[in-house]
Amino acid sequence: MNEATTNKGGRRAAITRLAATAAALAIPLLASRAQAHTDKPHAPKSGPVVKEQKDWGIAGDAKRAKRSIAVGMGDNMRFTPQRIEVRQGETVKFVVRNDGTQMHEFVIGTKAENAKHAEMMVKFPNMEHDEPYMAHVTPGKTGEIVWTFNRAGEFEFACLIAGHYQGGMVGTIVVAPAGKA
């Protein structure tokens, strides 16, 4: 027996019942619509980028970026450079170039966050994600992200594509505390 078909049929029956009840009790249409909506997955939100504070910083304003750092990505599963040093409070524009023949990405995060995300990518290789701290770059192209490092510490940038992270496509970002030379 096909479970999906059964569920669909059950849901349709439930909605029919609900509609009948609503009509009988003169419940406003809105209420039944809200009810029917709850068992459906929500569509991804679109619109302007929300600047959410992360442990590794926050989305930056391109106008505030006084520094631009070029990063190369290769099919040898390496970033060039592999280590980046910034100062706390600095807004950096990363210009990420894919020198390879396959898709690569540049994702900033904590070690733990990237490791968790990389694990997900192995389980769901076609998972789509887009956040202001990541750039997905097709072969021969260049991607850009602007990020403000408002928290000091040691972070990571990585390509989380299944096999790439595991192959060592990881770099280090060191954010020196503000006020220190």
CA–CA distance, 69 with 97 (Å, rounded to integer) = 11
Shortest Å distance, C-beta 164 to Cu ion = 3
User: Residue 164, interface with Cu ion (CB under 5 A)?
Assistant: yes
Whether residue 62 contacts residue 146, with contact meaning beta carbons closer than 8 Å, is answered with: yes
Residue of 54, 104, 117, 136 that binds Cu ion (CB under 5 A): 104
Cα dihedral 172→175→176→181 (10° resolution): 90
User: 65 vs 94, which CB is nearer to Cu ion?
Assistant: 94
Residue 82: helix, strand or coil by DSSP? coil
State the minimum distance, in angstroms, from the CB of residue 140 to Cu ion.
14
* Nearest residue to 163 via CA among 95, 96, 99, 105: 105
Q: Which stretch binds Cu ion (CB under 5 A): 5-13, 15-23, 54-62, 167-175?
A: 167-175
Q: Which of residues 39-78 bind Cu ion (CB under 5 A)?
A: none
| Of 114-122, 123-131, 137-145, 169-177: span binding Cu ion (CB under 5 A) | 169-177
Q: Is 121 in the site for Cu ion (CB under 5 A)?
A: no
Say which amino acid occupies 72.
G
Residue with tokens 């569920």: 7
Q: Which is nearer to Cu ion, 51 or 116 (CB)?
A: 116
Q: How far is the CB of 56 from Cu ion (least distance, A)?
A: 19
79 is written with which tokens? Answer: 């970033």
Distance, CA of 19 to CA of 30 (rounded, Å): 11
Angle at 166 between CA 161 and CA 172, to 5 degrees: 90
**Residue 97 interacting with Cu ion (CB under 5 A):** no
In whole angstroms, the minimum distance from the beta carbon of 59 to Cu ion comes to: 22
Which of 21, 102 has the CB closer to Cu ion?
A: 102
Residues that bind Cu ion (CB under 5 A): 104, 159, 161, 164, 169
